[in-house]
Amino acid sequence: MVRYFVSYAHDDTLTADLLKRLKQRLALAPTCVFEAWDDRELQPGQRWRDEILEAIARCPIGLLLVSPAFLGSRFITAEELPRFVARTPDEPAPGKRAIPVAVKRLAFDGTMDLKGLAEVQVFHDRKGRDYQSCTTGRQRDDFADDLY
């Protein structure tokens, strides 16, 4: 059983499509069963902050669906991201595996604060594209295949 926490910005409508494609592929893994947790599992009346932090504690892997909205989210950058990625190169690693995926274009030229992700390999497809740049269904399937 491989548990992973999905961190994403609610403003990024592309994430649902990417997660659907990825889950289809993960279901075909011959030796692992993958279990995702994301905040869409929260029920009315639950203490959402506590539930999110408990889910992160249970998941050794963070699937980080990165975009400008993701990096601009105060909750993500203060609560979720630091549990998977050190904020500075001098800071010790949090001990969990981060799999950052470029959902939208990111600037790696110093003009964008990547909140520690500048030191971590961010996934792009084999052609170096972020998910949004994949405009056809075939390109999005290829992106999900490469991520799998």
Q: Are 52 and 39 a contacting pair, CB within 8 Å?
A: yes
> Which CATH number belongs to the domain containing residue 94 in this structure?
3.40.50.10140
For the chain, list the strands marked E by DSSP. 2-7, 34-37, 61-66, 97-102
In eight-state DSSP terms, residue 123 is: B
- Say how far apart CA 122 and CA 100 lie, in whole Å: 5
- Say how far apart CA 148 and CA 139 lie, in whole Å: 14
* pLDDT tens digits, one per residue of 64-91: 999 999 999 999 999 999 999 988 777 8
* pLDDT tens digits, one per residue of 45-68: 888 999 999 999 999 999 999 999
What is the per-residue pLDDT for 107?
94
Q: Is this structure's pTM higher than 0.85?
A: yes
Which residue type does 86 have? Answer: A
Give the alpha-carbon dihedral of 145, 110, 6, 96, to 10 degrees: 100
Q: What residues make up the domain containing 108?
A: 2-147
Q: Are 94 and 88 a contacting pair, CB within 8 Å?
A: no
Asked if pLDDT for residue 5 goes beyond 90, the answer is yes
